[in-house]
Amino acid sequence: MSTIKITVTRYNPETSSEPFTQSYTIPYKEDMVVLDALNYIKNHVDGTLTHRWSCRMGVCGSCGMMVNGDAKLTCATFLRDYYPGEVQVDPLAHFPVIRDLVIDMSDFMDKLLEIKPWIIRSEEKPLEEGEYLQSPDELNLYKQFSMCINCMICYSACPVYGHDQSFLGPAAIALAHRYNMDSRDEGQDQRAEIIGSHEGIWECTFVGECTRVCPEHVDPAAAIQRSKVQLTKEYFLSWMWPWGN
């Protein structure tokens, strides 16, 4: 029987003062993903191993972890890409660890609320007037940026967030851009205050790692740069024509 070695970072704040690693040798099959390996360990070897997952289909975003140093969805990362070598699994970088491979998402959730990721209207039209219709071209303006699954992999790869966690971060800014580009939305001015702040888009140094690791090809780096262009344009227009809008 073929086997593979899985080394996992372990940490229990109730019993451990520091994280440590623990290795497991488990059966290997070519169609196994890293999440399968973690579930095998949990179910058959060591029931104390703690990790987060849900759909196993690359949709929920909850199984993001570091695999041999790269941030990935473990449900979409095949063991065959590392076999016969060892696989090292760690919690996502730049986040506090609750236990083993489970991170604390509170900082991201707070930032998500700040950018108001919902359609804002100054005045809602009566229901009897029907839907807010969009053309295919209007949909295409923001569709790519709506694909974010909040996996936080981009935060784990972002050196700016790793250095300064006051940074709003790639996913939150990409979602702000998604709603700003939505023809039904009128909340751009409300979001501009937060994304245009010192902790927002101007902190980004355009390394582009967020886009490289994004499992849904959202391209948060592009969203950040487009937001910079849009806010700069609006600033100069307001300065040149202050009586404008």
d(CA 36, CA 87): 13
Q: In the prediction, which pLDDT does 243 show?
A: 58
Q: In the prediction, which pLDDT does 233 show?
A: 84
One CATH from 3.40.109.10, 3.10.20.30, 2.30.30.830, 3.50.50.60 for 3-103? 3.10.20.30
pLDDT digits 0-9 by tens, 146-177:
999 999 999 999 999 999 999 999 999 999 99
What DSSP designation does 118 have?
A: S
Average pLDDT over residues 31-55: 97
pLDDT digits 0-9 by tens, 100-134:
999 999 999 999 999 999 999 999 889 899 999 99
d(CA 152, CA 216): 12
Give residue for tokens 């058959």. Answer: 44
Task: Give residue limits of the domains in the chain.
Answer: 3-103, 106-240
d(CA 61, CA 218): 13
Pure H helices in the chain: 34-40, 106-114, 136-140, 153-157, 159-163, 170-180, 188-195, 209-213, 220-240
Check pLDDT > 80 for residue 188. Answer: yes
Q: In the prediction, which pLDDT does 236 show?
A: 72
How would residue 65 be classed by pLDDT, with cut points 50, 70 and 90?
Answer: very high
Rounded to two decimals, the pTM is 0.91
CB 4 within 8 A of CB 80: no
CATH architecture of 106-240: Orthogonal Bundle (1.10)
d(CA 49, CA 71): 20
